[in-house]
């Protein structure tokens, strides 16, 4: 009898302490692009201030926003701007995005395509790959190899930014069924190991050894590579903000995380991960209504920021 009671007590203690631990740590969920920066910041904050921050990439940017909206996360990570769609879908959520850096979205190809001579693609050519008109790299001046297009899953920030650039609106993108990949790691591994492979991938993950970032051919014929310089001068068209989003004002722990990431040490982490920091002059990523207000933490400014538009 006594044993039973003790077991019960033990079980109760275990469950209640587990619940307590879960509620006291800050849950950050979303984009695999933002993830490495936040993971490192969380390690630093745990070591320096003893803050408990749990980071997870389930579902990518839209997964993070969904988790934020239904209370499974305290902070969402997103590698795309917030859209009207997000706000109409979750009218009760008070989205408060904070931009922590800027990333270039690269189009990467496998080694055989790169060495076969494909170094740049235009938006028109990418549309033809996306809708399935082009099926062989020969049609694009490359090797005689089928185009293995690994599409980022719809719902991932990378996919949304990509189709917004190509079609002006994700809703207008053609209904296609491609091979699909989820995280950045998966996209990189699969393109690297598949002859004829191509995918959309954060430029910071395009290492130039396993996968090769293509230049974008602009309508005026210029070829722009996804480098930090071209991000900073605004010539590379596929730029996107890296966001952390809270529902309403951030909690104490969330505020500590945001302050750290916006401070010099955090911005160094952003740069070390291969992204552009906030003071590195990236005007193009998310044009703001008023110039010269960056870095910004104003909700309205970021909500108003449109997607990067296709070149006319």
Q: Contact with another protein (CB under 8 A): which of 80, 190, 228, 240?
A: 190
Nearer to another protein, 149 or 275 (CB): 149
Helix (H, G, I), strand (E, B) or coil at 110: coil
Q: Contact with another protein (CB under 8 A): which of 31, 35, 66, 202?
A: 66
Q: Is 177 in the site for another protein (CB under 8 A)?
A: yes
Rounded least distance, CB 72 to another protein, Å: 11
* Alpha helical stretches, state H, the chain: 2-24, 35-49, 60-69, 84-89, 111-115, 123-130, 157-167, 184-192, 228-232, 252-262, 264-272, 299-304
Residues 275-304 that bind another protein (CB under 8 A): none
Q: Is 71 in the site for another protein (CB under 8 A)?
A: no
Q: Is 59 in the site for another protein (CB under 8 A)?
A: yes
Q: Contact with another protein (CB under 8 A): which of 143, 155, 281, 310?
A: 155
| Contact (CB, 8 A) for 159 and 300 | no
Can you tell me the distance from the alpha carbon of 307 to that of 276, in angstroms, rounded to the nearest whole number? 18
| Contact (CB, 8 A) for 80 and 304 | no
Q: How far is CA 114 from CA 40, 119, 191, in A?
A: 33, 6, 12
Tokens representing residue 133 in the block: 């008109």
Q: Contact with another protein (CB under 8 A): which of 182, 234, 281, 310?
A: 182
Which of the stretches 40-48, 96-104, 178-186, 250-258 binds another protein when contact is defined by CB under 8 A?
A: 178-186
Q: Contact with another protein (CB under 8 A): which of 128, 138, 189, 235?
A: 189
| Contact (CB, 8 A) for 99 and 258 | no
Can you tell me the distance from the alpha carbon of 66 to that of 59, in angstroms, rounded to the nearest whole number? 9
Binding mask 79-118 for another protein (x = CB under 8 A): ----------xx----------------------------
Can you tell me the distance from the alpha carbon of 6 to that of 11, in angstroms, rounded to the nearest whole number? 9
Rounded least distance, CB 258 to another protein, Å: 24
> Rule CB under 8 A: which residues touch another protein?
58-60, 62-63, 66-67, 69-70, 89-90, 146, 148, 150, 153-156, 171, 173, 175, 177-182, 186, 189-190, 193-194, 196-197
């Amino acid at each position: 009898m006594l044993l039973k009671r003790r077991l019960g007590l033990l079980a109760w203690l275990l469950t209640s302490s587990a619940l307590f631990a879960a509620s006291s740590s800050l849950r950050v969920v979303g984009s695999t692009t933002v993830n490495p920066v936040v993971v490192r910041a969380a390690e630093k904050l745990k070591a320096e201030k003893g803050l408990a921050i749990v980071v997870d990439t389930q579902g990518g940017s839209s997964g993070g926003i969904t988790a934020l909206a239904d209370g499974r996360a305290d902070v969402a990570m997103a590698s795309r701007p917030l859209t009207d769609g997000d706000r109409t879908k979750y009218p009760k959520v008070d989205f408060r995005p904070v931009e922590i850096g800027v990333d270039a979205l690269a189009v990467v190809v496998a080694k055989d395509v790169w060495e076969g001579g494909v170094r740049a693609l235009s938006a028109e050519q990418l549309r033809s790959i996306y809708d399935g008109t082009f099926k062989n790299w020969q049609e694009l001046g490359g090797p005689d190899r089928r185009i293995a297009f690994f599409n980022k899953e719809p719902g991932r920030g990378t996919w949304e930014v990509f189709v917004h650039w190509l079609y002006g609106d994700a809703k207008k993108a053609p209904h296609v069924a491609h091979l699909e990949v989820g995280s950045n790691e998966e996209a990189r591994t699969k393109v690297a190991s598949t002859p004829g492979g191509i995918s959309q991938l954060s430029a910071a993950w395009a290492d130039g050894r396993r996968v090769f970032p293509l230049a974008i051919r602009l309508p005026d014929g210029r070829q722009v590579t996804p480098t930090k310089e071209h991000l900073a001068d605004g010539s590379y068209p596929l730029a996107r903000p890296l966001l952390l989003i809270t529902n309403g004002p951030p909690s104490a722990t969330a505020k500590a995380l945001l302050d750290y990431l916006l401070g010099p040490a955090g911005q160094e982490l952003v740069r070390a991960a291969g992204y552009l920091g906030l003071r590195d002059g990236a005007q193009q990523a998310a044009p703001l209504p008023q110039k010269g207000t960056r870095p910004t933490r104003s909700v309205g400014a970021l909500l108003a920021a449109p997607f990067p538009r296709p070149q006319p």
